[in-house]
Chain A
Amino acid sequence: MKKLTNKAGQYKIDLQALKESEARFRNIVLWSPDAIIVTDAKGKIEYMNPAAEGVFNRKLESFIGTDFGLALVDGESTEIDIFRPGKDPGVGEMHAVETEWMNKKKRLITIRDITERKRAEQAIRDAQEYAESIVATVREPLLVLDADLRVIKANKSFYWTFQITPEKTENRLLYDVGDRQWDIPKLRELLEKILPKNTVFNDFEIEHDFPTIGRRIMLLNARRIYREGNKTQTILLAIEDITECKQVTELKKALTDLERSNQELEQFAYVASHDLQEPLRMVASYTQLLEKRYKDQLDQDAKDFIGFAADGANRMQRLINDLLAYSRVGTRGKSLEPTDCHTMLGQAIANLSMVIEENHAVVTSDELPTVMADASQMVQLFQNLIGNAIKFRGEESPRIHVSALEKGNEWVFSVKDNGIGIEAQFSERIFIAFQRLHSREKYPGTGIGLAICKKIVDRHGGKIWVESELGKGSTFYFSIPKRGSVK
């Protein structure tokens, strides 16, 4: 305001400027969305603007001269419930200040509608609580790092999985956590090279040997968040321990490879033996023909030579046959079904009828159970064991007894004979393919019979062993699990 003085020294008021100033401030007050109240020093209301009328839902006339009831602390703000014309009631922030004009002490009170602000704050709190619940509930370990790779927070799952305490984790540089067990080169690569360039990086694989929990393979999802509010970077790390998963996958793959390799080997064995048989057949047949046709024209030497050749060919044929039979335990094995062992034993005895008769052998048995087995392989098993018992007989005619005992969750069968017996030191060797304990002249055979028995028993999930005394006889035992599974 321009000060004007007249010659008498009195102030001359610029009326126009005054009018403008008055209009300005009146309009500011009238149109302010915040409630403005003026009280005297004692708290009596002198003025309220229209916004204040809305807040208290009363007209100014009814307020003038009354006490402004609400407690006020100078300079501080409080929250009060307010009305809001056309809306639901809400919350206001009241602010009071002491002032003075025209030599009178006045109180200037403002009330601002902070309903939306409060709602926003609550929403934020809700969101935060929500996020924290997720972090706490999620079964995967989670890490929250600041821009300097310091651990802001880790969830329970992290502490539990990595066997580490919050004290050793929070506020530390990630690489320092747990005695530097997180100082992993690949992790550094992720956090220092990859993440700065991308905001999200998923499925990052790290393999590490942890001092507390051993070798672990982990998949990490990393996310870089920029928080506008406090202008900071936050890094989220979600960790999935896939060690077991990987192990299972690796095992499955190894198993598939092994199965395929096995199949290939068995196929090879089959084809090789099969293709070997035809030329062998020629050798064997023609040496025998020679022997037959020219026996009158051959001297003893020639006969011997032909004999050895024929014998060699025959032995090769038997070996190939046995190899085929051995490999067929696997390739021609059928799935396990309830099998009545008594019937199978009967079949084996029928198959051996001639050799039983020739040796005047007597085969007896107790009651035999029904087990989960491959029927024809059970017959083969009994047949081989009983056949052996007869082959390796002593002076007396063979007496063989077959029985079965229930032992826990398996059946233990026994085939007992009164034959020549086996020395203890050989009791394991005899189950190996082609291992023989006697000369070929004394006891014919290639030595595959028991190896086949073992393969059959193995396939059924059981074990086979022998108890024997030289000169007294042997008892062969084999176990078959109840409701067993096939290998």
Chain B
Amino acid sequence: MNNEARIKLADILLVEDNPGDVRLAKEALKESKLLNKLYQVEDGIKAMAFLRQEGDYADVPRPDLVLLDLNLPRKNGREVLAEIKGDETLKRIPVVVLTVSRAEEDVLKSYNLHANCYISKPFDMEQFVKVVKSIEDFWFSIVKLPAE
């Protein structure tokens, strides 16, 4: 038996404007045994406000992981990524780019902007759910995230 107590509560921020994908992500995370809470915003401006805990988002927690789509209205994912990884207090948060684009250019740019990893959304819904579960598995069971 493990003698150390682990308080497992992780917050995930999903930056995604496609409601279909949002729904799939929610379903995928619901089935997990880990106690994770999913927050969602649909554009880049709201994403930054959320992360900076400004305005409407004054009381939200700092997410432990960000799932970031690149194609967003108002402020696109690349800008958001650059802002997060350029901010002293936000850059430690792992950002998983989860987007449709398979373009080499997008991949390279994302890694160069210090995205923690880049994942292309599968076309297949089942696959998509599997991918989200794998992300959750890897980042919350295998990886050690920074403390707040």
Contacts and interface: CB of A to CB of B under 8 A. Distances in A.
Complex: A in contact with B (CB within 8 Å): yes
Contacts of A347: 5, 7
B35 interface: yes
Interface of B: 1-8, 35
A376 B5 contact: yes
A461 interface: no
Contacts, number: 33
A325 B7 contact: no
B3 A322 contact: yes
Contacts of B2: 351
Nearest to B7: A347
A33 interface: no
Contact of A380 (B3, B8, B35): B3
B5 A380 contact: yes
Contacts of A348: 5
Interface of A: 321-322, 325, 328, 347-348, 350-351, 355, 375-377, 379-380, 383-384, 387, 391, 445, 448-449, 452
B6 to A, nearest CB: 6
B5 A448 contact: no
Contact of B3 (A325, A355, A376, A391): A325
A322 B4 CA distance: 9
B31 to A, nearest CB: 16
A379 B5 contact: yes
Contacts of B3: 321-322, 325, 380, 384, 448-449, 452
B4 A325 contact: yes
Interface centre among B2, B5, B8 (most CB of A within 10 A): B5
B87 to A, nearest CB: 28
15 contacts: A322-B3, A325-B4, A328-B4, A347-B5, A350-B35, A351-B8, A355-B1, A375-B7, A379-B7, A380-B4, A380-B5, A387-B1, A445-B1, A448-B3, A449-B3
A380 B5 CA distance: 5
6 closest cross-chain pairs (CB), A and B: A379-B5, A380-B5, A325-B3, A387-B1, A376-B5, A383-B5
Contacts of B4: 325, 328, 380
